[in-house]
Structure 1
């Protein structure tokens, strides 16, 4: 899985209002406190991590992609704030301390290949979470993966290039495959474009499976909602939001 080109387009194609919604979701569980120790797992380009740091929290951003972290580092400098950024694999998360809040948003857990990898991620989070801490994450719902994504197409273009996103039903149960094509203007001649391609696979599971894996990882108090915690889960909810405590 490569994010080399995707990292540079990620913030352009993301609905910017979604980041505000994720932040509000986190704030529901910080109770207005400042100076909390937060880990943003799969932090990507650091947009959420930087905003949490600007709110006065001590933030550690973890991501598997060097390219994503490079964008996050530049954002940190531009926003004149400070946070810790580190390369890390959520499937093998090392003990890093007792965090008050650990987040994992933008369906990042859906990139894990199977239940065993999801369980490993949950266990790593549990080991890094304080006894009174909360683990917040979202995943694609079954409806999103099986009904919305197959046949989905999206096109974005600007003066620097163009981006085509096509989604197809995956080979595994409750999975989807994304075919990403980029046309990027060359530095030597802005009228010439180079083509790049990336392939992303995502998978989700029934709510009962997530609950079972969370329980195996040591979480006994799990709340599941939709719409960033503002609605109950429905058959056509596109994302599920989890708030988990030990």
Structure 2
């Protein structure tokens, strides 16, 4: 794939059939399982203030709000946040929704925990990720925790790099073409969606970081890694595992 992908690809990526795919791809059972894991690792009780960043259409945000947590969802996608606001209104949930770019927008409030789920950690280069981590860390109370989930850490994706993929979700199909830019350590992806004769093509780049790079970055802003799992079942993460669930605690 020889195409230039803008560094700000994420500003317009989450729209159209791309949003529909994400809604269909994850079951309610999986969301419940991840929320149970979050509550266990964040070590919080109902009433605690939690930050979901980026929150997408808010599958974790909504479930946690139903369980009595004070939720703030932050995302850049207007379409995703519209879906979240509609659900909040329909279910009469008290959730603060913030639309903005994490690199430039402020995050108001102070939180008892935060999380970044679903491959969102790595949308920008190292300097940008430092801004992201610094901002999140600044909102966390001492002793609170930050959970990061990704399937695109170096130890996960590089041992068996996926060049292509094909998925069918009801009447929606998704075809994936991946390449790896060695000089800058990011994965460049072309996604082609097809539904009822309609097609859309979306592109994204995802910077690939090693576990040690992430731990050092977190430590720079007072977030000490206390656990690294390969699943919500809390098994230790090892080379080649498909997912990583990292738990960090704010020390100051």
Give your verdict on TM over 0.5: yes
Say whether 1:44 aligns with 2:63.
Answer: no
Listed as ranges, the matches of 1:219-238 within 5 Å are 219-228=223-232, 230-238=234-242
**1:95 deviation in Å?**
4.2
Does the aligned pair in 2 maintain the 1:163–1:180 contact within 8 Å? no
Distance across 2 between alignment mates of 1:89 and 1:64: 5
**1:13 deviation in Å?**
2.1
TM-align CA RMSD: 2.1
Corresponding residue for residue 122 of structure 1: 133
Corresponding residue for residue 174 of structure 2: 164
Aligned counterpart for 1:3 among listed residues 7, 14, 31: 14
Distance across 1 between alignment mates of 2:25 and 2:155: 22
Corresponding residue for residue 4 of structure 2: none
Does the aligned pair in 1 maintain the 2:159–2:240 contact within 8 Å? no
For structure 1, which runs of at least 5 residues remain unmatched after alignment?
A: 186-192
Corresponding residue for residue 55 of structure 1: 67
Does the aligned pair in 2 maintain the 1:142–1:174 contact within 8 Å? no
**1:98 deviation in Å?**
1.3
Q: Which has the higher contact order (CA 8 A, sep 6+)?
A: 2
**1:174 deviation in Å?**
4.4
Change (3 A) 1:143 1:216: closer
Distance across 1 between alignment mates of 2:94 and 2:161: 37
Find the residue that maps to 2:181 and give its secondary structure.
coil
Corresponding residue for residue 83 of structure 2: 71
Distance across 2 between alignment mates of 1:225 and 1:170: 25
**1:105 deviation in Å?**
0.4
Normalized against structure 2, the TM-score is what?
Answer: 0.85
Normalized against structure 1, the TM-score is what?
Answer: 0.87
Listed as ranges, the matches of 1:143-154 within 5 Å are 143-154=155-166
Change (3 A) 1:218 1:37: same
Aligned residues: 236
Q: Deviations over 1:61-109 (max 9, x none)?
A: 0001111111212222343322111112233452412100111100101
Does the aligned pair in 2 maintain the 1:13–1:156 contact within 8 Å? no
